[in-house]
Structure 1
Amino acid sequence: MFLQSFGNDGIIFLAALLLLSGIIAAKFSSRLGLPSLVLFIAVGMIIGSDGLGIIYFDDVEMAQLIGILALIIILFEGGLQTKWSTVRSVAFSSISLATLGVLATAMLTGVSVYFVLDVSWLEAFLFGAIVGSTDAAAVFATLKERNIKAKMGATLEAESGTNDPMAIFLTLMFIELITNESTSFWLMIPSFFWQMGIGLALGLVFGKLGSLAINRINLESGGLYPVLAIAFALITYSTASVIDSSGFLAVYVAALVIGNSELTYRYSIFQFNEGIAWTAQIMMFIILGLLSFPEQVFHPSNIFAGLAISFVLIFIARPIAVFISTVWLNYKFRERLFLSWAGLRGAVPIVLATFPIVAGINGADEFFNIIFFVVLTSALVQGSTISYVAEKLGLMGPKKDTPHHSIELVSIAKANADMVQFQTNRDNAIVGYKLHEIDFPQKASIAAIVRGDDLVTPYGDTEIKAGDFLYILVSKREHADLMKLLNQKISGPQKSKRKTKK
């Protein structure tokens, strides 16, 4: 009604209103103890046809396209922010959870769906496949500001970034088995290995190409480098999808490669992608909220079915899947319990729930409504208690210290130098020493030191302290020497000297 009255102006105003609503929801989500995705979805429901009636939206294919585009951006931003040194230590466990874990969750949930809903076994397992994977958007957003131990956070983020191929493969496989009786299950298995293997390979290739392009192409404006990075994310996904491999896996791997490379305008790229990922997340969940009809989602029969399936998914299927996937890995019992509880569902199951509708499967609308309810239940129950559960299990890490400042004066593309940001910790060998006592490379200069909220002007007698953010202008040729110096760990004699100085 609103759009019909105001036309294009109304659409522009409404888009601004939705973004503002999402930003306000994100601001208050932590204070309310709720994941931001719940509030974004609520905004969509409120302004939808069953709410205030401002927008009537039921275009499933459009919602699917918006969801896929948003997930590409969110996965890319998550991969950029992930340190390879952290992921490497949990790579095997994450892959196990992303494959065997998703399969076990889907099958166990499917059994409960068969008994709760009046459906066939194939339809029940289709439902299980749709809700079988954790969601990158939900996990990244929920863990971003929470002080979960690095090992747990890395495991969950890597799992959510790599488990979509398994969920998508299972979903498409069961849709094909339902709609085409001549399809053979065994003939579809090689397709999974193709999707995973080629998706991984393309991610590595495009990640390397993206890093080289960003560093070597001399663009007229520094603001174009973040756009170039996003372009590579979209090209990576589309190329992988065209040859029937996993576009989501390719995007995440490419982002890992790019994010762990030395980049021109590194901080501009990171900040731009963080902003656009928030925008994508807000719009995606609001659109998914619009696509739902609360009167149908919260119908008594759907609530009963949704609660029953959510109970099995949260308290039975996910824990069993986690323990099976990590039985031979080095995880303590309490760590497995936390991984079981932190298996958040979000946008991916809702987007996948549109696939059966597009395929014309009978009862797909009911599936969508119940899956939507299951996602809300997971977000509300698990998402709002992650910090509490982590604290009770003794898995809270140190407070995250994210810099809200950056200095980027010159670029590799414009000059043969770059501005390096480095945060010290108590294990760094340079901590406790004055600047004139440190043997910096000849063409390296300390531009600034940020200590807490204070800017410290660097002089020869300025002492480096743990937690300082150092901003160092360095020649490209001496960049490796500088990083070697900065990353050097404290040795035994240095420990004694540091204690003596104190």
Structure 2
Amino acid sequence: MTVTDSFVLLAATFLIVGVLTTKFSSRLGVPSLVLFIMVGIIMGSDVLGIIYFDNAQLAQMIGILALIIILFEGGIQTSWKSVKPVIAPSLSLATIGVLITSGIVALAAKFILDIGWLESILFGAIVGSTDAAAVFAVLKGQNIKPRIAATLEAESGSNDPMAVLLTISAIELLMNPEASIMSMIGLFIVQIVVGLLLGLVFGKLAVTALNKINLDSSGLYPVFAIAFALLTYGATAFLKGSGLLAVYIAAIIIGNAENIAYKHSIFRFSEGFAWMMQILMFVILGLLVFPSQLFTWDILSKGLLMSMILMLIARPIAVYLSTIKMGFSKNELVFLSWAGLKGAVPIVLATYPLLAHVEGSSLIFNVVFFVVLTSCLIHGSTITMLAQKLGLTGPKKTTPMHSLELVSLGKADAEMLEYEMEEDSAIIGKTLQDIPFPKGTLVNAIIRTDTLVTPTGNTIIEAGDFLYILTSRKRVNDIKKLLEQKKEPEEIVEEEVEAEPV
């Protein structure tokens, strides 16, 4: 068998095993990304010996590429309506929170790991941020209250610039003692500003291009969208901005645009691609670590102690201090403190000192890896249970296991809307013929508890229904206003009175 054939076989094995592990992760109560890492470790040279992999530069490149796709998918799924009210606390957590976390961890690392001050600062910088891949993976499909979930998602999507800057700055100071701290601060400001501006520009440009271009195949539209994500990162990084931040901003703009051709296709393709890249990234990172070096008493004891300090001291202090007077309750602060998941970003950042040949980089990498593994295992498996204990869960999310897409809509002046009916909607309890839909609007299908209901004029709308509505693009906003109308307070009271037993 040739090298190419072997590579194809291994890639197929990784993907199949990765997909199957997601089936078992929910039953075991373990986040799937932990199982992906374990697949890599088991396949590695220290266990089964199938693959010997120690290329930190290739792992870093794959990790960054995967993070671009994961952030893009997370961004297009993010509702601007839910993120807008939590911008202030999210940005505070992404900047001040990361600084405080990194500082406390650095202080602990100095004495626990017995390394120099700059090396300790480097370690704190690497593990200071929450990870978008881990947060998106754990929160997806959960029924955490929207405000808290939006805060965590926005924080994890925007805190990479701070972590990257602190890591690069610490390495620069280690390798070049003459480096100026003021230049580092200036670099951070440039990264944030350029990242925000180019994210906005490329996001608007992508929306316009997707709607204006007339491609021969509908399957090219999702590829075109992904290409814009890669272009956004590349152009922003070239201009010294934060590429990951720009990708997340651009994705939010694309995902919240009123009308985009083949929107459902773009969403579905991005979701599948993000899963594939997540599997690949965590398996590769698992391959990069050597269990014989990781699972030693020295690394386990130091790593466990650093994990406890990070989870129980550094993150809670950072959350409380960076969200002062921002309207969070005690229970919400406890949950935000516990939900600071670590994931791929710290491991990818830990490859930077390896490539720069920083003294003690192997120790830093192994302890970082153990901290991430501990965080994913403990945080990831308990986050939903803690939310329930603290009363921070909302109505159970019901994602329909179906797809309704008209491939011709991209070139037609038409739009297929998918809308979930909430309990307080004004049209709940009404028949379709009694609802004043705009002229030319057609309700094609209703999904009710995973069952297809063929709509007629006498069909009564119920809470939890998924409506699929075909309409002209110029009528989209009118229909959304109609569907989003809420019941008057007196109507709700009357219904509650009628529902009371006699």
Q: TM-score, normalised by structure 1?
A: 0.97
1:136 aligns with 2:124: no
Q: Which moved more, 1:429-438 or 1:349-358?
A: 429-438
Question: Is contact 1:420-1:473 (8 Å) kept?
Answer: yes
Pair 501,479 (structure 1): closer, same or farther in 2 beyond 3 Å: farther
Q: Distance in 2 between matches of 1:495 and 1:146?
A: 27
Deviation string 1:330-352 (CA, Å, 9 cap, x unpaired) is: 00111111111110101000000
Indicate yes or no: 2:36 matched with 1:36: no
Deviations 1:475-497 (A, max 9, x none): 12222211221112222465578
User: Deviations for 1:338-378, whole angstroms, at most 9, x for unmatched residues?
Assistant: 11111010100000000011112111111111111111111
Which residue in 1 is equivalent to 2:406? 409
Q: Is the contact made by 2:86 and 2:147 (CA closer than 8 Å) also made in structure 1?
A: yes
Counterpart of 2:422?
Answer: 425
Is the deviation greater in 261-270 or in 55-64?
A: 261-270
Computed over aligned residues only, the root mean square deviation of the Cα atoms, in angstroms, reads 1.5
In the other structure, the counterpart of 1:341 is: 338
Structure 1 counterpart of 2:195, from 176, 195, 199? 199
Deviation (angstroms), 1:304:
1.4
Q: Distance in 2 between matches of 1:463 and 1:295?
A: 63
Q: Aligned partners of 2:490, 2:35: CA distance in 1, in Å?
A: 54
Structure 2 match to 1:227 = 223
Work out whether residues 14 and 280 of structure 2, in 8 Å CA contact, stay in contact via their aligned partners in 1.
Answer: yes
Counterpart of 1:484?
A: 481
Please, which moves more after superposition, 102-111 or 181-190? 181-190
Structure 1 letter corresponding to 2:368 = I
Identify if the C-alpha distance between structure 1 residues 497 and 327 changes in structure 2 by more than 3 Å, giving closer, same or farther. closer
2:268 partner amino acid: Q
Match of 1:291 among 284, 288, 292: 288
**Could you tell me whether the CA contact under 8 Å between 1:217 and 1:413 is conserved in 2?**
no
- 1:262-321 C-alpha deviation (Å, 9 max, x unpaired): 221111111111101000000000000001001101111111111111111011000000
Q: Which residue of 2, 6, 9 maps to 1:10?
A: 6
Match of 1:249 in 2: 245
CA contact (8 A) 2:127 2:342 kept: yes
Task: Show structure 2 runs of 5+ residues with no match.
Answer: none
* Structure 1 stretches of at least 4 aligned residues deviating more than 4 Å after TM superposition: 492-502
Structure 1 match to 2:317: 320
Q: Is 1:450–2:447 an aligned residue pair? A: yes
Corresponding pairs, count = 498
| Contact 1:410–1:417, Cα closer than 8 Å, also in 2 | no
Equivalent in the alignment of 1:439: 436
Structure 2 residue aligned with 1:185:
181
Match of 1:313, SS state, is helix
Does the aligned pair in 2 maintain the 1:432–1:498 contact within 8 Å?
Answer: no
Residue 87 (str. 1) matches residue 83 (str. 2) = yes
What are the superposed Cα offsets for residues 390-443 of structure 1, whole Å, 9 maximum, x if unpaired?
Answer: 122111221111122222225553211111111111121111111111111011
In 2, Cα distance between equivalents of 1:411 and 1:298: 55
Moved more, 38-47 or 477-486: 477-486
Q: What is the match of residue 383 of structure 2?
A: 386
- Is the contact made by 2:261 and 2:411 (CA closer than 8 Å) also made in structure 1? no
* Aligned mate of 2:298, from 297, 301, 309: 301
The Cα offsets for residues 28-67 of structure 1, whole Å up to 9 and x where unpaired, read as 1111111111110100000101011100011110000000
Aligned residue type for 2:143: N
- State whether residues 411 and 418 of structure 1, in contact with CA within 8 Å, keep that contact through their aligned partners in structure 2: no
Structure 1: how far apart are the matches of 2:133 and 2:489? 44
* Aligned residue type for 1:269: I
**Taking every aligned residue pair, what percent have the same amino acid on both sides?**
56
Bigger drift between 46-55 and 411-420 goes to: 411-420
Among 467, 472, 476, the alignment partner of 1:470 is 467
Decide whether the 8 Å contact of 1:410 with 1:418 is kept in 2.
no
Match of 1:398 in 2: 395
Shifted more, 123-132 versus 261-270: the winner is: 261-270
Structure 2 residue matching 1:90: 3-state secondary structure: helix
**Preserved contact between residue 218 and residue 410 of structure 2 (Cα < 8 Å):** no
Q: Which amino acid aligns with 2:282?
A: F
**1:267-278 alignment, distance < 5 Å:** 267-278=264-275
| Contact 1:47 1:290 survives alignment (8 Å) | yes
- Counterpart Cα distance in 2 of 1:472 and 1:360: 58
Q: Which amino acid counterpart does residue 141 of structure 1 have in structure 2? A: A
Residues 207 and 254, structure 2, Cα contact 8 Å, conserved in 1? yes
> Paired residue for 2:53, among 49, 57, 61?
57
Give, as a single letter, the amino acid of the residue that structure 2 aligns with 1:254. Answer: A
1:337–1:347 distance in 2 versus 1, CA, 3 Å: same
The one-letter amino acid paired with 2:157 is G
Secondary structure at the counterpart of residue 457 of structure 2: coil
User: For residue 19 of structure 1, what is the aligned residue in structure 2?
Assistant: 15
Compared CA separation, residues 496 and 111, structure 1 to 2 (3 A): closer
Q: For the residues of structure 2 that align with 1:264 and 1:499, how far apart are their CA atoms? A: 42
